[in-house]
Chains A and B, each alone.
Chain A
Amino acid sequence: MADSSTDDPALAAEFDILAKRAGLPILAGRRPALLQNYKDLKRMTALMRQPRTAAAEPAGAYSILSVTRSV
């Protein structure tokens, strides 16, 4: 697997800052794979940012009655 830190330094810098903020030690040898997974996470969080209606808000999102009988 390619070390993403070499082809996307901005992403790698962002990753390092967030890891430090989380108090997360990055184990030796695991950074390239973590960076790949971080890229995929960024893809997913971008995908979720679409226009939503006012009804799409988290209140009651974990209430079984509102989630599964929401319509």
Chain B
Amino acid sequence: MAKALHDVSIAEAGAMLRSGSVTSMALTEHALDRIRSVDPLISSFITVTKESALADAAAADAAFAKGIDKGPMQGIPHALKDIYGTAGIRTTCHSKLLLDNIPKEDSVVAAKFKAQGAVMLGKLATHEFALGGPSFDLPFPPARNPWNPDCIPGGSSSGSGAAVAAGLVRMAMGSDTGGSIRGPAGYCGTIGLKPTYGLVSRRGVFPLSYTLDHCGPLSWTVEDSAIAMEVIAGFDPLDPASADVAVPDFRGKLGKGVQGLRLGLPRGWFVNADGASAETLKAIDDAAQTLAKLGATIEEIELPDYELYNACGRVIMFSEAYAIHEKDFQTRPQDYGLYTYLRMTMGAFVSATDLTQAMRLRRELAQAVNAKLKGCDALITASTLAPAPAFSEADPNSPPNFPIQTMPFDVTGNPAMSIPTGFSASGLPLSMQIVGRAFDEPTVLGIGAAFEAATKLPERRPSFAVAKAA
């Protein structure tokens, strides 16, 4: 049986566009129809840019008709987290403070997709300023998990994870400061790639924390994240963090397997962690066995205490975030959502000495990970430590800290990808991370593709049965 159009990957849709068996207009109209019918259940979009999307699709089809091929995203619908600046299109950061913010310029990432003739369907829900959520006291509702809308989709790229899992888009851009790509990917059962710090320009994306922010894709397949990276990676002299390094061949190791690779497993981080579910732990062990059967060598390794990475990252993030928002916190704190207010305010209480200690520790922690990666080709470890919790599990008076172990690689800057490992008995996705050496995204993607091919997990989509029965 032929796949439904929304189940066709970017790679497959690209081939269909080039063979003439589908048009960008058909892909776009199908996506807009699906947004209309499904998104009311999951609230993943803040803004749907229907008119400009249809115009983009017509332009892409006209280009194909003239034999113009700008690259693999030409004619492909996608969407952006609503912290990515988009010229002429409202960019709210899901906040009352920026309800009327219409940027004059595109972020670099938005401009790169536009230059390649991609079709932008709209702007996606986030936690407020990529920090405060899931919240019901903001101008837009929180995104919901397509596998069970009573559950959170993770955050802060909540709309991105929900939209990809629901088949509204094949790829959506997120951002990751403490796990905001990999968390939603884990809870929603998508791929989520946080690239190496400095590989993708952050210019034009509203900052949360200068030295921890990363831009990256969430997608339904590993190959589709590789394709997105081909478009968005590259040196930007106007982004102070941008790395002037050769852009790797992101699809270069897809289909090459894992034979002979050495994979480190820091099991001590997660095996006794608070909130870790038995199903998640078993799924990681099963995944390690699968990779071993495919020819990789799995070696348990020791790293510094996970809590050091968490504390280091949070102290830096609170400090930098508060510095960005200081004036608004002093003059209009009531306009922030409660969770944002409670989290970000902590930056006002971090001393200069605290921050210096965090920076010293950061260097030591990065060295520890990179020392292990001298002896291993990559690491595999936990991402989300349990299936997505229900909204009702969050304390309305205090921001939740659901169990997740993504912060270490924002601290160190290494590329890290969340990938599904299976499902809980309740039908919610489980996940793990694959972590690589700096700028070695191809190895991370190659391992992910091998695991994905062995498990065939992308064949299972949310049915929305729970939502429709409600």
Contacts and interface: CB of A to CB of B under 8 A. Distances in A.
Identify whether the interface residues of B are mostly helix, strand, loop, or mixed: helix
Interface string B106-140: 00000000000000000000000000000000000
A55 to B, nearest CB: 7
Interface string B438-452: 110000000000000
Contacts of B371: 71
Contact of A30 (B197, B245, B342, B395): B342
B348 A70 contact: no
Given A33-B398, A56-B361, A71 B370 contact: yes
B241 to A, nearest CB: 7
A70 B438 CA distance: 10
Interface residues of B, number: 54
18 contacts: A1-B397, A18-B348, A25-B330, A37-B343, A37-B345, A37-B346, A41-B349, A47-B307, A47-B308, A56-B364, A58-B363, A61-B359, A67-B366, A67-B412, A68-B196, A68-B370, A69-B370, A71-B367
Contacts of B395: 1
Given A34-B345, A37-B343, A49-B357, A55 B363 contact: yes
Contacts, number: 131
Interface in A22-48: 22-25, 27, 30, 33-34, 36-38, 41, 43-45, 47-48
B100 interface: no
Contact of B308 (A23, A27, A48): A48
A57 B163 CA distance: 42
Interface of B: 196-198, 211, 241, 243, 245, 307-308, 310-312, 314-315, 318, 329-330, 333-334, 338, 341-343, 345-346, 348-351, 354, 356-364, 366-367, 370-371, 374, 395, 397-399, 412-414, 437-439
A interface, how many residues as a size bin?
Answer: 35 or more
B366 A44 contact: no
A56 B360 contact: yes
B350 A45 contact: yes
Nearest to B304: A50
A36 B408 CA distance: 24
